[in-house]
Structure 1
């Protein structure tokens, strides 16, 4: 959805995401304690950065109204960032046309306005269809769709040696048959192909397709390729990064109570010191060594990662090809906590997460 207020130029956009991740339901507890076992949880802080964007947009509206400021503020509700990449379809349909600049917030473990790019990717499902038979009594009559999936996976795993170092290929088998004494006539896998540039993704993806077709040929099965979505790499904005950093410093990062710090310490009790060091090292943040013993980061550094390609992908990237875009982060969970984990859910549901939300909304406004 799009909510608008005001008229004329400039037209400033604010994005808010709503989504969740499967299988990481979690109570507001520093110990792993699912709210409902096996159900989704906000492992990427989507319970926060939809609300922070909305709060920021409302605050801007009131400031414009009170101070008689000309211009238009638009809030974009964007669904399914983790799977279907809702912003891609919104870009396709021209929803972001005419926007002069756009801001987006993302919870994390640091307060900074990133200048990093991101990985472009293709998301695609492979459906194989064969023929059932008794796996022991008449195996020669069967054509195993699962065999095709496994052979494709083997081929792709050998391909890894021959793709650029920065690329990533991930997969899961979504369906592989019902029981072992029946040759499965249907199987399905889901692949993600990532690389720093769109053309690099397409080059690798074409090779993956050849492997997929080869697996069908070897097993005498039929292959159906189902593209799910494709996204671009992000174009960072130095101007917006500077503006957001200045806003952060003017407002000041949240302070934490002793109880909140204790909660954060308990939350990281399962994270080894070595794992935290490696995560900080990978951030390439100048002076990261000083953060090894820090629990919650309250500093606001200059963006240091210009020219860096982050290891993740986001549909914010497609918006950045339409208008200057800045997605900034705020401390929502402790340093060292892995992304997409139950620990993220716990942090974003706690008062620590609420402080992150309020801070981000003020930065946007």
Structure 2
């Protein structure tokens, strides 16, 4: 193994405790999409202390950043942090179900966990930087802060605004979220297309509804029929979307769309129609053509719901994300580094914690409570073979994530390292809080962070030190795109360059009141 990789691996081991401490900070912040103020500020401060120049608010997104470190002329390589948490998953780092101290159970928590995703990437970048200085490796590291991944909202914006145009290669890391995508790199089947948008219904002229009272000087008086208003529009729209789901998504390989109500009416329990309502949708599918068809059907449904309820409607885009482009050269190189490092290993303390979780759930604690697969490697070609057995032959993509935006601008690898997952008795499924808790307990999540950080660092350093590796990955990128960026098979960003991310909408967030900082859905005394 080259000395620069030995050095980087040793750096991660020497800084293991520091990475663990840093991860605890982000995990406990647990800020949701577009509201990751503390998490973003922490990364910006840390990166500046490490010698990076940092652009805050990159792409017009307040909780995004672009950090750069250069050591002479050479390739420009990138990776990134995510740090958004998910509302309704406020689990403590504990072996039983409980909210984090002082918070409503409706507050956010890290599910994937993005906290460890970001810390693994940061550890890899800092280890690579240290080795670059030690061995005189030339080039530039770029480290992006990518907020709101759960909305697929930042990477399409960064891509559209040109932030990835100068990259020579990129590494995308994610904790394992499903088998067989475990301790491997993605070969052919990358994440697919995602569209997200907000529909807003407003009842601005209730007096003009067909049943309005035309004889009273006071519109919408208490004796008259009133315009249904924005709440009814939202309900009708939601119902239409659900009833037409089978027509809209026929045989599309388990793709889906999901919704979240952002605003529902106002304090108008009088005889006044609610004035405004908003609902956000995220759809995942296998092609841009499918996404456009689904979006058109939903526009028709919105128009029908608005007409029936005396409302107007508008649509605000959150994201348009492309499907991923494979790069076998980089996938193999990164996997080779992972194989040399080895899969995560769960020590005695982690095993004791896992057994305690099982006991608290009323299960018989297992001698080996962690899934054996979490400590095993899967070659990317074998992972691809197993994955295709679960999919229709015609299906190109699986699941969604916005990292594919990188894949259309430079050779990109998707690295997947096992998060802690427990073995289950036959017929038993663990509740969600278990995985969330294990993602916040040092002894159970730190082994993944260490393995991922080492793998990222070693792959970045190989790309700096081995020009032939980067050249081969670039040739494959050019072949797959029909000539590189702008080539005959290249897909341009789906958002316009002047796109404005809708971060000002009513996204869930922590709020500060006279009672202190709390989640916007208050805790109840009977929780």
Q: Distance in 2 between matches of 1:49 and 1:27?
A: 19
Deviations along 1:104-159, whole A, 9 cap, x unmatched?
22112532212322231221111112249999944622232222112212221222
Q: Distance in 2 between matches of 1:194 and 1:140?
A: 41
Q: Distance in 2 between matches of 1:122 and 1:339?
A: 30
CA spacing shift, 1:230–1:310, aligned 2, 3 Å = same
What is the Cα deviation at residue 363 of structure 1?
0.5
1:320: which partner in 2? 407
1:11 to 2:63 alignment:
no
5 Å-filtered alignment, 1:115-264, equals 115=187, 116-130=189-203, 131=206, 137-138=222-223, 140-162=225-247, 163-166=249-252, 167-177=255-265, 178=267, 182=271, 183-264=273-354
Q: Compare relative contact order (CA 8 Å, sep 6+) and give the higher one, 1 or 2.
A: 1
Q: Distance in 2 between matches of 1:189 and 1:122?
A: 14
Q: Distance in 1 between matches of 2:169 and 2:300?
A: 41
Deviations along 1:152-203, whole A, 9 cap, x unmatched?
1222122211223223122233333346665423222111122112221111
Q: Distance in 2 between matches of 1:139 and 1:173?
A: 29
Residue 447 of structure 2, aligned match among 344, 355, 358 = 355
Q: 2:354, 2:422 within 8 Å by CA — same for their partners in 1?
A: no
What is the Cα deviation at residue 209 of structure 1?
0.5
1:34 to 2:102 alignment:
no
TM value normalised by structure 1 = 0.84
TM value normalised by structure 2 = 0.60
What is the Cα deviation at residue 311 of structure 1?
4.8
Q: 1:14, 1:102 within 8 Å by CA — same for their partners in 2?
A: yes
CA spacing shift, 1:331–1:293, aligned 2, 3 Å = closer
What is the Cα deviation at residue 102 of structure 1?
0.5
Partner of 2:185, secondary structure, is coil
Q: 1:135, 1:181 within 8 Å by CA — same for their partners in 2?
A: no
Deviations along 1:311-359, whole A, 9 cap, x unmatched?
5321211111111212212122205799994333312222221111111
1:299 to 2:372 alignment:
no
Q: 1:148, 1:218 within 8 Å by CA — same for their partners in 2?
A: yes
Q: Distance in 2 between matches of 1:135 and 1:272?
A: 58
Deviations along 1:66-95, whole A, 9 cap, x unmatched?
222233322222222123621221111211
Q: Distance in 2 between matches of 1:123 and 1:155?
A: 18
Q: Distance in 2 between matches of 1:117 and 1:354?
A: 26
Q: Which runs of 5+ in 2 are unaligned?
A: 1-65, 213-218, 458-527
What is the Cα deviation at residue 364 of structure 1?
0.8
1:76: which partner in 2? 144
1:52: which partner in 2? 120
Deviates more, 1:138-147 or 1:263-272: 263-272
Q: 2:227, 2:310 within 8 Å by CA — same for their partners in 1?
A: no
1:287: which partner in 2? none
Deviations along 1:2-26, whole A, 9 cap, x unmatched?
2222233332212222221112122
Partner of 1:60, secondary structure, is helix
Q: Distance in 1 between matches of 2:431 and 2:283?
A: 19
Deviates more, 1:6-15 or 1:90-99: 6-15
